């Protein structure tokens, strides 16, 4: 019985090894950390975000505030919930960042007349002017990436990221 099990185990190992090396990657438990998609995304995000951060630092503005300004730039108000989704922040964090931006007169709150639970956020003139300067800095970062990485790769990567995000929802 032990022997039979051992033989059967060997057979299945051989079969799996053969099949997997032809059809697909073997599902090894020992995949290095650096081959996990989650890790590669974290690493790339960290690096690119750092670059952007250091550009925007010329205006003394954190990345999150740039995102907020950019979303509000069109002049249509957004509720805190909509805004939080758009800028990838959870609600309490957004509330506190917005508090600071209100102090800096970059954005302002208006009670939504249609639904008085809601607050509509708007961008001030000052906020819009700052936003445009920040946009330039951000564009120059993307240009720098495209220089080193190539236009084709950049567009292909964007396309794949969009479809990954789609497929995850």
Partner DNA sequence: TGGCAATTGTTGAAGTTTCAATATTTTCGC
Partner DNA sequence: GCGAAAATATTGAAACTTCAACAATTGCCA
The C-alpha torsion from 71 through 89 and 125 to 116, rounded to 10°, is 90
| Residue closer to DNA, measured from CB, 95 or 163 | 95
Query: Of 117-156, which residues contact DNA (CB under 7 A)?
Result: 117-119
> Which residue from 56, 68, 87, 98 is in contact with DNA, where contact means CB under 7 A?
98
17 belongs to the binding site for DNA (CB under 7 A): no
Q: Residue 48: which of DNA, its own copies, none does it interact with, CB under 5 to 8 A by kind?
A: its own copies
From the list its own copies, DNA, none, partner contacted by residue 93 (C-beta under 5 to 8 A by kind): DNA
Residues 25-54 that bind its own copies (CB under 8 A): 27, 29-31, 33, 35-49, 51-52
Contact map string, positions 92 to 121, toward its own copies, x by CB under 8 A: ------------------------------
């Amino acid at each position: 019985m032990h022997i039979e099990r051992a033989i059967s185990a060997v057979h299945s190992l051989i079969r799996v090894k053969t099949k997997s090396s032809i059809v697909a990657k073997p599902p090894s438990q020992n995949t290095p950390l650096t081959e996990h998609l989650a890790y590669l995304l974290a690493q790339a995000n960290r690096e690119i975000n750092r670059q952007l951060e250091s550009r925007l630092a010329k205006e003394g503005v954190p990345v999150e505030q740039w995102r907020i300004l950019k979303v509000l730039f069109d002049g249509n108000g957004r509720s805190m919930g909509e805004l939080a989704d758009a800028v990838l922040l959870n609600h309490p964090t957004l509330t506190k960042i917005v508090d600071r931006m209100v102090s800096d007169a970059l954005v302002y709150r208006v009670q939504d007349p249609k639904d008085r639970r809601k607050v509509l956020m708007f961008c001030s003139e000052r906020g819009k002017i700052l936003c445009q300067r920040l946009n330039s800095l951000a564009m120059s970062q993307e240009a720098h990436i495209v220089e080193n990485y190539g236009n084709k790769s950049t567009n292909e990567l964007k396309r794949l990221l969009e479809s990954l995000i789609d497929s995850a929802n």
